[in-house]
Amino acid sequence: MVQERVMEKLAILADATKYDVSCSSGQSTRKNKNKGLGDTGGGICHAFTEDGRCVSLLKILLTNHCIFDCAYCVSRKSNDIKRVAFTVQEVVDLTIGFYRRNYIEGLFLSSGIFDNADYTMERLVRIVKKLRLEENFNGYIHLKAIPGASEELLKEAGLYADRLSVNVEMPTEQSLKLLAPDKNHKDVIKPMEYLKNEIIDYQEEKKSNYKTPLFAPAGQSTQMVIGATKENDMEILGMANYFYEQMKMRRVYYSGYVPISHDNRLPAIGTPVPMIRENRLYQADWLIRYYGFNVNEIVGFDQPNLDLDIDPKLGWALRNLHQFPVDINTADLELIQRIPGIGFLSAKKIVRRKKFQKITARRFKEIRNCLQPIEVFLGFFFAFLYAKRPNFCSNKKSDFEFAKQ
């Protein structure tokens, strides 16, 4: 590698992907066979940026050349920036060099579109193939499927990558038309549909024939830009719900729009990034995926946006006060999960524990370690407990009662 050139490319092409929020590296089942390099399992965050996000994958663009002119994108054609591109070999060397040093769990590869969709997709596929076949690499690979790429290339990508994703970018077709005139909603939905069917087919086949190769074992995901256009949270979550139910997506990511251009279709530069809103959307997303909430319970026509001041679960509880207080000793898992402040893991612990003993405030504290903010939603009320023990919620090592030998 020509070192200085690669250093510069990495700075530019890593910088361009930092608003792509996908970073997960679990949910795959690729194992190290025949003494190769790497395996994929639980997913490990190897580092954390100074803004607190985790770094588990080498997240880069293959190139920031692009034939499209999407208003919200740094790499858009009309933007006056330095254009660079990695060679296939450079991406392979970077990935392997980083992986062997235990810096990363794998590769997240996206790209601007040069020439046409298939030309770009073909290069991405060449990189994954080289990693898997020549380098015997079993780490995690997340590949962006380029909208409009042919089905043969998508299929090949699925055979070598762990996860594929096509970004829908905008929650509605109208906004996509407005901000990305070259892009077509159909071009995004079509590959998603194709991948969904292939993934299901391969999974079915695997059941009867264990030798069936893996096909995108970590499924597919997508991303939406939030706050660039006028959609409300109901439309956004409705779209997300469509992806989870109809496209069998594993994840939908929400990316708060960071103003980057003086385009009058977009929020002006200096408009704050909707960070809280992004956070609330993720919370709502989790409620739908893990807590058995229906989208309509979180946002509805009477209240199309999430409350920014309180989290969506608390918001739901306040709108449904008739359900509270809940007696956790008689409630079932479904309802316990809905109590604000109790996560699905604690809820499971509570249900397991209930088989053995009645759950009192003290035992509840052992499970959750803190019950102050949510006591009003629970069947028991132990105000005096706090009065006696002001440090009830602290979780410091010094609280270990090792000293009481």
Partner 1 sequence: MTQIVYDGSYEGWLTAVFEIYEYKLKGIVFAKEEISNTLLFSNSHFVTTNGEKANRVLNDLQQRLSHHGFNNIYFAFLSELEKIEEILFRFVEYAFASPINIEGDLSRIEVSNVKKAAHLTGKESHRMKAFVRFKLTKDNLYYAIVDPDCDVLPIIEQHFKNRYSDQRWLIYDSKRKYGIYYDLENVSTVEMQFESNASSSFLAEINDENEEFFQNLWRNYFCSVNIESRKNTKLHIKHMPKRYWKNLTEKIPNLNKR
Residue 187 is a binding residue for partner 1 (CB under 8 A): no
Q: Which amino acid is at 346?
A: S
Separation CA 378–CA 178 (nearest Å) = 48
Tokens, residue 379: 């069947």
> 59 or 196, CB closer to partner 1?
59
Q: Give the dihedral of Cα atoms 10, 12, 14, 19; nearest 10 deg.
A: 180
**Pattern of binders to partner 1 over 112-141, x per CB under 8 A?**
------------------------x-----
Separation CA 201–CA 262 (nearest Å) = 46
Separation CA 168–CA 188 (nearest Å) = 6
**Pattern of binders to partner 1 over 243-282, x per CB under 8 A?**
------------------------------x-x-------
We find the least distance from the C-beta atom of residue 402 to partner 1, in angstroms, to be 6
Sign of the C-alpha dihedral computed for residues 67, 258, 252 and 243 taken in this order: negative
Q: Which amino acid is at 207?
A: K
Only segment of 37-45, 119-127, 290-298, 335-343 that touches partner 1 (CB under 8 A)? 37-45
User: How many chain residues are in contact with partner 1, going by CB under 8 A?
Assistant: 49
CA atoms within 13 A on the CB side of 370: 11
Among 78, 82, 102, 210, binds partner 1 (CB under 8 A): 102
Residue 84 is a binding residue for partner 1 (CB under 8 A): no
We find the least distance from the C-beta atom of residue 398 to partner 1, in angstroms, to be 12
Q: Which of 83, 161, 81 is nearest to 121 (CA)?
A: 161
> 261 or 303, CB closer to partner 1?
261
Look up residue 264 and give its DSSP letter: T
Residue 58 is a binding residue for partner 1 (CB under 8 A): yes
Separation CA 98–CA 105 (nearest Å) = 9
Neighbours of 215 (CB within 10 A): 22
Among 65, 77, 248, 363, binds partner 1 (CB under 8 A): 363
Residue 37 is a binding residue for partner 1 (CB under 8 A): yes
Sign of the C-alpha dihedral computed for residues 160, 162, 168 and 170 taken in this order: negative
Look up residue 52 and give its DSSP letter: S
> 275 or 308, CB closer to partner 1?
275
Residue 7 is a binding residue for partner 1 (CB under 8 A): yes
Q: Which of 225, 103, 249, 243 is nearest to 171 (CA)?
A: 225
Residue 356 is a binding residue for partner 1 (CB under 8 A): yes
Only segment of 54-62, 117-125, 208-216, 330-338 that touches partner 1 (CB under 8 A)? 54-62
> 39 or 297, CB closer to partner 1?
39
| Interface contacts to partner 1, rule CB under 8 A | 3, 6-7, 10-11, 14-15, 17-19, 32, 35-39, 44-55, 58-59, 94, 97-98, 100-103, 136, 273, 275, 353, 356, 363, 366, 400-402, 404-405
